[in-house]
Amino acid sequence: MKNVLFVASECTPFIKTGGLADVIGSLPQALKENERIEVRVILPLYDEIPLEWRNQMEFHMSFNVPLGWRNSEASIYTLKYNNIIYYFVSNTYYFTRKGVYGYYDDGERFLFFSRAVIEALTHLDFKPDVLHAHDWQAGMAVALAKILQPITDMKTVMTIHNIKYQGLMPIEIFEDFFDLSREHISGFEWNGMLNCLKSGLFHADKITTVSPSYGEEIKNPYYGEELHPFLLERSADLIGVLNGIDTKEYNPQTDSSIAVNYRSSRAKKKENKMMIQKKLGLPIAAGKPLYIIITRLVEQKGLHLVQHILDDFLHEDVQFIILGTGDAEFETFFAEAANCHPKKLVTLLAFDEGLARQLYASADFFVMPSKFEPCGLAQLIALQYKTVPIVRETGGLKDTVLPFNEITGEGNGFSFTNYNADDLLATLRYSLRIYHDSLQWSVLAKNVNKSQFSWQDSAREYANIYEQLMPINV
Ligand code: GLC
């Protein structure tokens, strides 16, 4: 049996701000099927984690965490859920706050978290063979594991879920927070800053990211967020493993949030559509094509393209629903647009899981024209609910959505290449034409029904990575 410890800043069902939480919540479950690997997960104990979970946690131990000239205390709480053991690092000063991120001292908070993880390793009843860290918040744990060697022979894996966020701090922090000799500085520094993600990548034995295409893209300046030269150098250690989704969790046959359960029946999807039209005050019309967007309202998701063409596209005989929260710029724009087109567009400025599922179940098309997308989970959920994705060909979107081809009858969605609003509009219009061509539409629907992105294959790839890294037992 080999032990793997996941280090991350969020995980469903405890705490979630984005797709990272879904992956940390479901990948250990999938890896559990592999009897040779035991995964445990370590997370910060945020005040924001609902009481329902906190009440079930058990105190494990407390210890001192050295941070340069400071000494803080950390306590570890444990919780077993679905047969996985979770450790939570508690510290009132750093984590008893509202929300998860967005504080001026986020860098320091996650330095503390990473340092506490390393300290915990010498106390825990679990000795990892592999420490697997996710995103910048956990990067320093990899760096410190390599330098301080809390467990001899422990290997490290660093996964990039989004290279845009790197955890940058003034380089002076190095001496202020770490008791390390100056020879180590170059491993922590990038472009004159202390960089948590780069520190993790530099010290990791293997680097992974969440789709093969993104793994290639980040070696180029357009996507690399200035780390591309470094990643090019580490090419041989960089692997793209596509994320999956929990297909038991996202299953239209059993989902209790939706009005009418179905496997692939278009007629039942239409019943869901009419329910949502009624609920949201749209004209009730089963045959009217329904397009949806469900996302954080941020630039990454390609919303500037949508802004440019929304008015034009709403001249067509369609309905559109947008669900999400985020930047004020987009919230205001989409709310005002809905006021101008009350019969065609509904904007819901909310983060509402149940409503999201009802929309996936009701819609004909799911629109996701991201500027960049490391993997993207929403298009996979859409496919699970037999909703046709319309995406830009980038990262994981490119790896999961194959554009429909009328001649060969292949493809499970629609896509366009350039980050260009006219191309998005043309693709939306093309999807509308196929929708009204019953023969082509049924070919497309069959392909959608066959698309499946469970965790099985990806879990096997991670298991291979761990096994390659671990010293052979004698
Ligand atoms: C980040 C990425 C998203 C990916 C998720 C999980 O949120 O932006 O594309 O699916 O991480 O890996």
In this predicted structure, the answer to whether residue 181 has a pLDDT above a threshold of 70 is yes
448 and 465 assigned to the same domain? no
129 and 159 assigned to the same domain? yes
424 and 463 assigned to the same domain? no
Residue 259 within any structural domain of the chain: no
**If pLDDT is split at 50, 70 and 90, which confidence band does 6 have?**
very high
pLDDT of residue 33: 87
316 and 204 assigned to the same domain? no
> Is 272 touching ligand 1 by the criterion CB < 6 Å?
no
240 and 116 assigned to the same domain? yes
80 and 217 assigned to the same domain? yes
pTM, rounded to two decimals: 0.95
- Distance from the alpha carbon of residue 397 to the mean position of ligand 1, in angstroms: 11
177 and 277 assigned to the same domain? no
Residues 298-346 pLDDT 10s: 999 999 999 999 999 999 999 999 999 999 999 999 999 999 999 999 9
> Is 323 touching ligand 1 by the criterion CB < 6 Å?
no
- Distance from the alpha carbon of residue 176 to the mean position of ligand 1, in angstroms: 32
Residues 16-50 pLDDT 10s: 999 999 999 999 999 998 888 999 999 999 999 99
Residue 223 within any structural domain of the chain: yes
> Is 243 touching ligand 1 by the criterion CB < 6 Å?
yes
> Is 295 touching ligand 1 by the criterion CB < 6 Å?
no
**If pLDDT is split at 50, 70 and 90, which confidence band does 250 have?**
very high
Ligand 1 atom with the smallest distance to the CA of 370 is 9
From residue 155, alpha-carbon distances to 165, 298, 320, 347 in Å are 24, 36, 48, 47
In this predicted structure, the answer to whether residue 235 has a pLDDT above a threshold of 50 is yes
- Distance from the alpha carbon of residue 388 to the mean position of ligand 1, in angstroms: 20
239 and 285 assigned to the same domain? no
Residue 249 within any structural domain of the chain: no
Residue 371 within any structural domain of the chain: yes
- Distance from the alpha carbon of residue 14 to the mean position of ligand 1, in angstroms: 18
161 and 230 assigned to the same domain? yes
- Distance from the alpha carbon of residue 33 to the mean position of ligand 1, in angstroms: 23
From residue 465, alpha-carbon distances to 46, 206, 230, 395, 459 in Å are 31, 8, 21, 21, 10
> Is 18 touching ligand 1 by the criterion CB < 6 Å?
yes
210 and 303 assigned to the same domain? no
Mean of pLDDT values over 108-126:
96
In this predicted structure, the answer to whether residue 186 has a pLDDT above a threshold of 80 is yes
Ligand 1 atom with the smallest distance to the CA of 300 is 8
> Is 398 touching ligand 1 by the criterion CB < 6 Å?
no
Residues 410-422 pLDDT 10s: 999 999 999 999 9
- Distance from the alpha carbon of residue 166 to the mean position of ligand 1, in angstroms: 14
pLDDT of residue 471: 65
Q: Kindly state the percentage of the chain with pLDDT values over 70.
A: 99
Residue 260 within any structural domain of the chain: no
Residues 73-100 pLDDT 10s: 999 999 999 999 999 999 999 999 999 9
Mean of pLDDT values over 185-190:
97
In this predicted structure, the answer to whether residue 54 has a pLDDT above a threshold of 70 is yes
> Is 376 touching ligand 1 by the criterion CB < 6 Å?
yes
359 and 425 assigned to the same domain? yes
> Is 373 touching ligand 1 by the criterion CB < 6 Å?
yes
Q: What is the CATH number of the domain that holds 332?
A: 3.40.50.2000
221 and 113 assigned to the same domain? yes
Mean of pLDDT values over 282-293:
98
Total domains, the chain: 2
Residues 339-351 pLDDT 10s: 999 999 999 999 8
In this predicted structure, the answer to whether residue 231 has a pLDDT above a threshold of 80 is yes
- Distance from the alpha carbon of residue 374 to the mean position of ligand 1, in angstroms: 6
Residue 256 within any structural domain of the chain: no
Residue 291 within any structural domain of the chain: yes
- Atom 10, ligand 1: residue with shortest CA distance: 376
State the average pLDDT for the chain.
Answer: 96
- Distance from the alpha carbon of residue 473 to the mean position of ligand 1, in angstroms: 35
In this predicted structure, the answer to whether residue 474 has a pLDDT above a threshold of 50 is no
Mean of pLDDT values over 64-72:
92
User: Range of 120's domain?
Assistant: 2-244+456-469
> Is 458 touching ligand 1 by the criterion CB < 6 Å?
no
Ligand 1 pocket mutation pick from 101, 162, 166 by most atoms within 8 angstroms of CB: 162
Ligand 1 pocket mutation pick from 20, 158, 370 by most atoms within 8 angstroms of CB: 20
Q: Kindly state the percentage of the chain with pLDDT values over 90.
A: 96
Residue 250 within any structural domain of the chain: no
> Is 23 touching ligand 1 by the criterion CB < 6 Å?
yes
